[in-house]
Chains A and B, each alone.
Chain A
């Protein structure tokens, strides 16, 4: 868009967004600011917002945040560079993050990452020539019971293998729709950043996609319910008895919708 990466020369002040872009982003920014008792709290979501405009946090984006929040450019830059999700240069439509924290690494994440680097011909944080994919190794993403885990635009691809991931990136590069094991069919990185700025995903079915819970999340529950199968008439509540002091206790089980 408006900003170029400067190499070596002293930097000129960042350009502003074109008027049309700024006017549009200002509406969004005001909505974000209104969510918080203190305006500065809006900074992280606003950095997601400017990332949704350009695919990375440009100097123009930081300047926009500074102006809106009455901060200096330096204050905004100090925050933007602290957090790993903000990208500092233009990158691919799909962020592919391979978890290589200990548990995933040992369960195969290291091998997945190595094979993927070779398959895509890029190094860590590199972007494929066609601009589709930026590859990165990431830290534990709170899905260790689904290891090895790969995140694409921060949707879950659980229990991956080198082959499944290579197939997935090939599909992405061929423009096919790719769906995660937990999450919604992939949208672009910019659209993802907009959700992160706090603007709900409005695509039909996005919230319900992939169902209630992944299989590993249900491992204990399935066992508990299976084990109590003979007592099934007592249904779910039989697993943990009610106190009996509840006046709102319903005598019947499911199907009591409100």
Chain B
């Protein structure tokens, strides 16, 4: 079990960081092919093309890369599921829908360095024998779309995409596809329906996308960060990758800190760093305040509290602590935050985004919103709390896709840790918190005072 970042120096907590994906984001024109090539760009692809496809799959598998889209499924294994010699076209679809509340890593990655994603896609296409790959980008991020358009254009022009990639005999086309606003389209089978020009609703599995995905052909759906992590594995080797992170969860990853943190942002570190370590790097919770609750990986992952500050942020350890690593979206809220308000808002989100296909989620989220709004407004009763828990239990594990589980997670976990706060809303017939105290500008006039007191 090692979580050190090899090759970093110094004695401060900074030595815990390991920028790989973010390594060139501070270059003046980091998104260009020229900048990327100056920093070993497309070297991983050259290596991959010199290897038989199955060896590439084996390498990614042995490196231990696990999907960064939330579930942590081993990427090499996913690629291996693609049947070979079946005579059908194979497709690679990059999931760039990034819409899980709190999640904000893929968008800055593609904005600052779209070529690392393209390189990863080309390696994956070689591995799974695909000639056509797609990037399904959520539509609401036009600056990223611009850079993807430009990167694809540059890469075609330079011969990295198109016929006979780098003289290898591999033909690959890459299509950038902008979605149109629907969280559920991040769910991989809903994404495929959406990419086929339909309403984005999840499909029954099996058959899994590896067997019948896009246009009923074998398809790999991978998250942006998963695919973008592949070039470094090819270029620097699996041992290098495994020298970071934990035994079962090797490598580096982007942790996204947001909320009441002094320096929110992207922190790329080996898997298994803790929130306490990350907060030390980020200057801590804003002065004069303390952490109240946080999400380890977006709003669909059960809330954690101060007592979980030392949980290693890898898939297995966070699961053992009763939550999920998810997308490593660490939304931090301090003691000024009303947990009932936070959870009500997330619940409204799930109700709005429920695709309506299955009853537990469609009806359940509707009722959860009514109950949460009433409680927040001081119009709830104590029996509503049991009703909340009961409805959540009926959604969790009984829904057609994981959106339903996600909707139940914030409610069940907040009831577990903050039941007294729900009760306070009911007993005091209103919210005991002042929303103004939570804002970014709340402490600004009095910052000086607090620093003196601190």
Q: Which residues of A contact B (CB under 8 A)?
A: 35-38, 40-45, 47-48, 69, 78-79, 82-86, 97, 100-103, 105-108, 110-111, 138-148, 151, 153-156, 159, 161, 180, 182-184, 192, 195-198, 200-201, 206-208, 210-228, 230-231, 236-243, 245-246, 248, 250, 254-258
Verify A220–B29 contact, CB threshold 8 A: no
How many A-B contacts at CB < 8 Å in the complex? 335
Verify B8–A227 contact, CB threshold 8 A: yes
Residues of B1-60 contacting chain A, CB below 8 A: 5-10, 12, 14-15, 17-20, 22-31, 34, 37-40, 43, 46-47
Verify B180–A44 contact, CB threshold 8 A: yes
Given A156-B143, A210-B143, A219-B263, answer yes or no on A240-B25 (Cβ-Cβ < 8 Å): no
In-complex Cβ contact of B440 among A86, A101, A102, A159 (8 A): A159
Verify A236–B34 contact, CB threshold 8 A: no
A151 to chain B: closest residue by CB: B140
| A42 to B194 alpha-carbon distance, docked (Å) | 10
| A52 to B198 alpha-carbon distance, docked (Å) | 20
Verify A224–B14 contact, CB threshold 8 A: yes
Verify A148–B440 contact, CB threshold 8 A: yes
- Check if B264 is an interface residue, CB within 8 A of chain A: yes
Q: Which 10 A-B pairs have the closest CB atoms?
A: A219-B265, A227-B14, A243-B237, A220-B267, A43-B197, A83-B180, A183-B143, A216-B265, A84-B181, A40-B197
In-complex Cβ contact of A200 among B146, B239, B329 (8 A): B146
- Check if B163 is an interface residue, CB within 8 A of chain A: no
In-complex Cβ contact of B142 among A43, A153, A159, A198 (8 A): A153
Given A142-B138, A196-B139, answer yes or no on A240-B258 (Cβ-Cβ < 8 Å): no
| A210 to B14 alpha-carbon distance, docked (Å) | 28
26 A-B interface contacts by CB (under 8 A): A37-B132, A44-B180, A100-B345, A108-B441, A139-B353, A141-B140, A144-B258, A155-B142, A183-B142, A196-B145, A211-B28, A218-B25, A218-B26, A220-B281, A221-B19, A223-B267, A227-B15, A236-B39, A239-B18, A240-B236, A240-B252, A242-B235, A243-B235, A243-B237, A246-B47, A250-B40
Residues of B within 8 A of A97 (CB): 140
| A86 to B181 alpha-carbon distance, docked (Å) | 8
Q: Which residues of B contact A (CB under 8 A)?
A: 5-10, 12, 14-15, 17-20, 22-31, 34, 37-40, 43, 46-47, 89, 98-104, 106-108, 111-112, 132, 138-143, 145-147, 149-150, 153, 175-183, 194-200, 215, 235-237, 239-240, 252, 255-260, 263-269, 281-282, 299, 329, 331, 333, 337, 341-342, 345-346, 349, 352-353, 435-436, 438-441
Verify A142–B106 contact, CB threshold 8 A: yes
What is the CB-to-nearest-CB distance from B179 to chain A, in angstroms, rounded to a whole number? 7
Verify B34–A258 contact, CB threshold 8 A: yes
Given A140-B102, A219-B265, answer yes or no on A103-B197 (Cβ-Cβ < 8 Å): no
B180 to chain A: closest residue by CB: A83
| A126 to B132 alpha-carbon distance, docked (Å) | 42
| A227 to B17 alpha-carbon distance, docked (Å) | 10
Residues of A within 8 A of B256 (CB): 144-145
Residues of B within 8 A of A200 (CB): 146, 149-150, 153
A44 to chain B: closest residue by CB: B180
In-complex Cβ contact of B30 among A198, A212, A231 (8 A): A212
Verify B25–A217 contact, CB threshold 8 A: yes
Residues of B within 8 A of A210 (CB): 143
In-complex Cβ contact of A182 among B102, B106, B143, B153 (8 A): B143
Verify A212–B26 contact, CB threshold 8 A: yes
In-complex Cβ contact of B102 among A144, A154, A155 (8 A): A144
Residues of A within 8 A of B183 (CB): 139
B232 to chain A: closest residue by CB: A240
